[in-house]
Amino acid sequence: MNASKSFGKRHEGCSRGSSSGKELSEVVVKRRKVNRALVTFRNLVDKLMHQYKVYEPENPRVKSKALMEATMTMRREHQWENTQKCVGHIPGIDVGDIFQYWLELNVIGLHRQFWNGIDYKIMDNSTLATSIVVTDRYDNSRRSNGTLVYEGQGGNPTFGKKVSLRDQKLEGGNLALKNSMQARSPVRVIFKVCGKFDGAFSYSSSNSHYSYVYDGLYLVDTMNIERGRYGKLVFKFGLHRILGQPETCVSLKDHGENSRQLANFSPRKKLKPKVCVAEKEVIRVKDLSNGREKFTIRVVAPIDCVQLPTSFDYVVSNIYLKKFEQAILCGCDCADGCVDKENCVCFRKTKGSKMPNGCNKRLASEMESSLIYECGPSCKCSSSCINRVTQNGIRFQLEIFRTEQKGWGVRTRSFIPSGSFVCEYIGEVSDYMEARWRLDNDYIFHMGVGKVFINASKFGNVGRFINHSCAPNLRIKDVMYDHSDKNLPHKMLFALKDIPAGRELTYDYNSFIGKFIKCRNNSCCCGTPECNGRIYI
């Protein structure tokens, strides 16, 4: 890893070229608050779902209950963000952001209606639309030129009891959209897409999960009244996307006839992700790990790239010098998969007992300690135990690619949910005297305790190629599971936030629980608002 590398892609929000430093700082703070609210919401949902599944195993609506209870709990605790309705972009939310649930839109203030597709606010004794959610409940359509035809709300859904059908009225959200048309007031547009969305129009085969994509600001151009599918009068609003906004996975895709192609996209109609492999890139190595990882680690590079990253041996576990004798870590004797955290020896070793949640095996958002104890080889629980996360290897499709300024980097081909384990930083574990004489200091990682280093120059894994960023999407945690020497923890990388497919993976080389020793080049060109210009500070 070249020490001058860093995450070079600039912030993907609206253009801020003329923003002052103070404004940029406020945007960064707001973004963090929004992300914190989302993580809090998802962790709370997972916790509640786990409880409901235990106490209401036959209830088919446990997920809906958990989502609503989490939403209302955060509202009572004043944990919602952007609580005041406004027209235009929402601070801390970028065009192209992807959300797992409708209720997340409420929690962060992107769309305040719980059920209705049109949100609006009262201004000067009138109403203006603030946002709309495009779903398959109405006959919405997106044309090849990017124009959106949005059907008004009320009386004429495409499902439900036909006896309730009636003509739509010019009131509520419909009136607000008309007023926005006359006032030329922008409206936020969110698209509902089918499947577990990975950021590049790659969907799971199940239609039971939906995601929501913020596609930016639109202007309402037209309003027509016509007969709908069941013969009732409906409003049809024509909207166009304001130019100059970042492209999103929705705006790049021609969805054809109607929004049911968004909400019922067939796996047979998948498009190849465009963001994962550039047009001039080809697969140069099919699997750098030679079958050692569960998923292939491929290398993609331009056709004219001469040097490939093959000058090391790929390993999947650390190599220790003989001087590092490790005592076996005493394990638990749980027979229930360590569901009862209070009685699990391994859980109790971690301060605060805030471990990866039992429902999704993801890292808790807030940890009282950076040192995590997992169940390991000496434990009596099974390999499917909820407290065995990092030992199961890489679970996402990763690839090594050639960056423009930083040499080799790593990006994900899969959507990575916040808190998920990504990979371990692996190499030869040695002391400073051994490490300083090795071939390439760019791969020598100080473990943060004593004078112990991980040197990935000759032996390593995909973790050696992950670049630095001042605003990373990964974080490091120390994990213990196979021995009891706290000076030799495993360096595990977890997702700080949801990471779409095609996004480069980065972490902060100056982590307080371990850092790279100063290398040949100290310049940082990550281009993020938080960038301080140097990798090592």
Handedness of CA 170, 210, 37, 251 (dihedral sign): negative
Of 201, 204, 224, residue with least CA distance to 213: 201
- Can you tell me which residue has the tokens 């006896």? 163
pLDDT digits (tens, 9 = 90+) for 128-153: 999 999 988 888 887 766 789 999 98
pLDDT digits (tens, 9 = 90+) for 45-56: 888 887 877 777
Instruction: Return the SS3 of 224.
Output: strand
Domains assigned to the chain: 82-269 (2.30.280.10), 281-516 (2.170.270.10)
Q: Tell me phi and psi for residue 260, to 5 degrees.
A: -65, -20
- What confidence tier does 409 reach under pLDDT thresholds 50, 70, 90? very high
- What confidence tier does 19 reach under pLDDT thresholds 50, 70, 90? very low
pLDDT for 278? 43
Is the separation of the CB atoms in 2 and 521 below 8 Å?
yes
pLDDT for 206? 37
- Choose between 6 and 315: higher pLDDT: 315
Residue 275: pLDDT over 50 = no
- What confidence tier does 123 reach under pLDDT thresholds 50, 70, 90? confident
What does the DSSP 8-state code read for residue 78?
Answer: T
Estimate the share of the chain in helix, then strand, then coil, as percent rounded to the nearest 5.
Answer: 20, 25, 55
Q: Tell me the percentage of the chain whose pLDDT exceeds 70.
A: 77
pLDDT for 323? 74
Give dist(CA 505, CA 485) in Å, integer. 29
Is the separation of the CB atoms in 23 and 529 below 8 Å?
no
pLDDT for 235? 93
Q: Which residues of 237-270 are buried (b: 16+ CB within 10 A; e: fewer)?
A: bbbebeeebeebbbbebebeebbbbbbebeeeee
pLDDT digits (tens, 9 = 90+) for 456-479: 888 999 999 999 888 899 999 899
Give dist(CA 255, CA 260) in Å, integer. 9
Please state the pTM of the whole predicted model.
0.56
Q: Tell me the percentage of the chain whose pLDDT exceeds 90.
A: 32
Give dist(CA 428, CA 439) in Å, integer. 12
Q: What is the mean pLDDT of the chain?
A: 79
* Distances from the Cα of 255 to the Cα of 92, 211, 313, 406, angstroms: 28, 16, 45, 36
Give the highest mean pLDDT range of 5-9, 85-89, 500-504.
85-89
pLDDT for 5? 38
Give the highest mean pLDDT range of 214-218, 363-367, 439-443.
214-218
pLDDT digits (tens, 9 = 90+) for 510-536: 765 555 554 556 677 777 777 777 776
pLDDT digits (tens, 9 = 90+) for 56-70: 778 888 888 999 999
Q: Determine which helix (DSSP H) or strand (DSSP E) holds 130, and give its type and residue range.
A: strand 126-134
What does the DSSP 8-state code read for residue 151?
Answer: E
